[in-house]
Structure 1
């Protein structure tokens, strides 16, 4: 003899607690992206910008194209 199983007709609602992001969860990655982009576009501001001159020329050319 088997026992009847009871299933819930609707999934349990958590009230949306885990579905909303706090404001800083979007603001911090956006700030980090803008900061890194600014360093890439203006490598002269970086203190350790003694890399390959071809890379520096390429980044400068990209900066000039974006400034138009």
Structure 2
């Protein structure tokens, strides 16, 4: 039972070869998705500044009442 005399591939590589191999190109969508998301959020914020003042949100009142019925406080 003799051991293999050749060094393993991971040991024989120099740091420069490893660094070169680690540099990979990003796919096109890895840059496009954050850009599109940023533009969409910026458009939402810009359009919200033009909105007129409205009555208090009715959905929030309904949600708080529903939570008060579900979670009994002070019982």
Q: Same fold (TM over 0.5)?
A: no
Which structure has more helix as a fraction of its residues? 2
Q: TM-score range by the shorter chain?
A: 0.3 to 0.5
Which structure exhibits the higher relative contact order, with contacts defined as CA atoms closer than 8 Å and separated by 6 or more residues?
1
Based on CA coordinates, which of the two structures has the bigger radius of gyration?
2
